[in-house]
Amino acid sequence: MSTQPDLASPEFRANPWPWYAELRQKTPVHQITFTDGKPAWLVLRYHDVAAALKDPRMAKNPFKALSPQEQKKNLPWMPGFLKPLTMSMLDQDAPDHTRLRGLVHKAFTPGTIEQLRAGIERRCDDLLADAKARGRMDLVNDFALPVPLFVITEMLGIPVEERLRFRKWVDRMVGVTKRSEMFLAIPAIWAFLRYVRGLVARRRKALGDDIISALVRAEEGGDRLSEDELVAMVFLLLIAGHETTVNLISTGTLAMLDQPAAWERLRADPSLMPSAVEELLRFTSVVEYGTERYTTVDLDVGGVVIPKGERVFGVVGSANHDETVFEDPETLKLDRKPNLHLTFGGGAHYCLGAPLARMEAQIAFRALLREAPDLELAVPREEVRLKKGMALRALGTLPVLLPRAERPRRVRPEAGAEVRPSL
């Protein structure tokens, strides 16, 4: 077995698939030293990951895996302002998770989401009109980010002039891979939480029709939503409500530019869009690692007994490229069916915003194919790199050209040529 690579490095993350494939064959439940220097287990085969995501014996709350005595010994000191981070719905189990999820699920029903369609379409058209006038754009910051950012801030009722303020905070927080980096991220976390508390305070004075107002009403209605839980919920929605979609639009576009036949096929047959988005979710695996879970008993996973109290990561990126489930997994097949990828998770923690992310991505890709059909990279391919990190596969920037008739075109590969550099 090859030695453990630096799992957070851009170099490894450019092409982790061969290492995952080796582990699936040799040690599909694999113990590693995590980036914080502590041990963890990786689960790599599709069916094992799918089962782990649904298994109630793998708790989201780490203290569920400890006895009351162990909890007292292992409870770390934490500054008071960070307390809401321990209250996130993402890190809770039933019944707390069930209660918290129930308070926001109405904001993500199909009918509610469909009402956002026209606004998303206008936003995409406006952004691309500006880009076409310039002849170029950074597809991440000029298109992929503003689209979902517009949506989640509309849903939360955040004023337009404040909508880009927290992006730098989010970048700082999701980029944390080591304990030392966590300390460096504390100012960003403090500023973000302070901002969220301010939003909540404003809603208490003047309720509206947004999600924050609905959460405040629920709290005041006796639905057992504490102040810290409310702050944690808004915090989670702001981050999770746009980060995955940003990465799907940007890495998905890059994947199709890498494989021009896919881009041209989707351009010629837009009816493929729903299945194309599912394939891009699988192929790019923008959520590469499921959030950590903890064994509450000695647990047999794929023939390996993981002791009680151990930290476990389902490697979604590996599961999505498992050759026993997905034929020719390293090829982008826009009409792949069935396509039961695990990018949105599974079980009780299945992504609440998955239908919204799918709709945003479909609208964004349709707009790109319609308004910028000859899109091409503005820099050499080797200069496009994923950001450092583990959980999410994210591009920091993606400079592209929107060719105009008066400018000479750069030579692109033939549509049928096999071009398969890794993300």
Who wins on pLDDT, 421 or 224?
A: 224
Residue 336 and residue 278 in contact, taking contact as beta carbons nearer than 8 Å = yes
69 falls within a domain: yes
Mean of pLDDT values over 243-267: 95
Instruction: Give the CATH number, domain containing residue 64.
Output: 1.10.630.10
Residue 319 and residue 342 in contact, taking contact as beta carbons nearer than 8 Å = yes
Residue 288 and residue 390 in contact, taking contact as beta carbons nearer than 8 Å = yes
Per-residue pLDDT tens for 207-250? Answer: 998 999 988 888 666 666 788 888 888 888 888 888 899 999 99
> Does pLDDT of 68 surpass 90?
no
Q: How far apart are CA 15 and CA 33, in angstroms?
A: 20
Percent of the chain with pLDDT over 90: 59
Residue 277 and residue 383 in contact, taking contact as beta carbons nearer than 8 Å = no
User: Which of helix, strand or coil describes residue 314?
Assistant: strand
Residue 226 and residue 371 in contact, taking contact as beta carbons nearer than 8 Å = no
Q: How far apart are CA 6 and CA 21, in angstroms?
A: 17
Mean pLDDT of the chain: 87
Instruction: Say how many C-beta atoms besides its own lie within 10 A of residue 214's C-beta.
Output: 18
The confidence band for 390, taking pLDDT boundaries of 50, 70 and 90, is confident
Per-residue pLDDT tens for 139-153? Answer: 999 999 999 989 998
Mean of pLDDT values over 328-341: 96
Residue 144 DSSP one-character state: I
Looking at residue 74, its pLDDT comes to 53
The confidence band for 314, taking pLDDT boundaries of 50, 70 and 90, is very high
User: Who's near 303: CB < 8 A, 6+ residues apart?
Assistant: 29
Looking at residue 79, its pLDDT comes to 67
> Does pLDDT of 348 surpass 70?
yes
> Does pLDDT of 204 surpass 80?
yes
Model pTM above 0.85: yes
> Does pLDDT of 77 surpass 90?
no
Domain, as residue range, for 58: 10-401
Question: What's the total number of domains in the chain?
Answer: 1
Q: How far apart are CA 266 and CA 366, in angstroms?
A: 9
Residue 241 and residue 402 in contact, taking contact as beta carbons nearer than 8 Å = no
412 falls within a domain: no
Mean of pLDDT values over 305-329: 96
Mean of pLDDT values over 387-396: 89
Who wins on pLDDT, 235 or 341?
A: 341
The confidence band for 70, taking pLDDT boundaries of 50, 70 and 90, is low
79 falls within a domain: yes
4 falls within a domain: no
User: Which of helix, strand or coil describes residue 223?
Assistant: coil
Looking at residue 411, its pLDDT comes to 47
Mean of pLDDT values over 379-384: 96
264 falls within a domain: yes
267 falls within a domain: yes
The confidence band for 161, taking pLDDT boundaries of 50, 70 and 90, is confident
The confidence band for 407, taking pLDDT boundaries of 50, 70 and 90, is very low
Mean of pLDDT values over 53-70: 81
417 falls within a domain: no
Who wins on pLDDT, 414 or 203?
A: 203
> Does pLDDT of 405 surpass 50?
no
Who wins on pLDDT, 335 or 410?
A: 335
Q: How far apart are CA 253 and CA 274, in angstroms?
A: 15
Looking at residue 139, its pLDDT comes to 98
Mean of pLDDT values over 118-122: 96
415 falls within a domain: no
**Of 180-184, 358-362, 401-405, where does mean pLDDT reach its minimum?**
180-184
Who wins on pLDDT, 160 or 376?
A: 376
**CA distances from residue 292 to 53, 54, 80, 92, 320 in whole angstroms, order as listed:** 10, 13, 23, 12, 18
CA 85 to chain centre: 18
Mean of pLDDT values over 136-141: 96
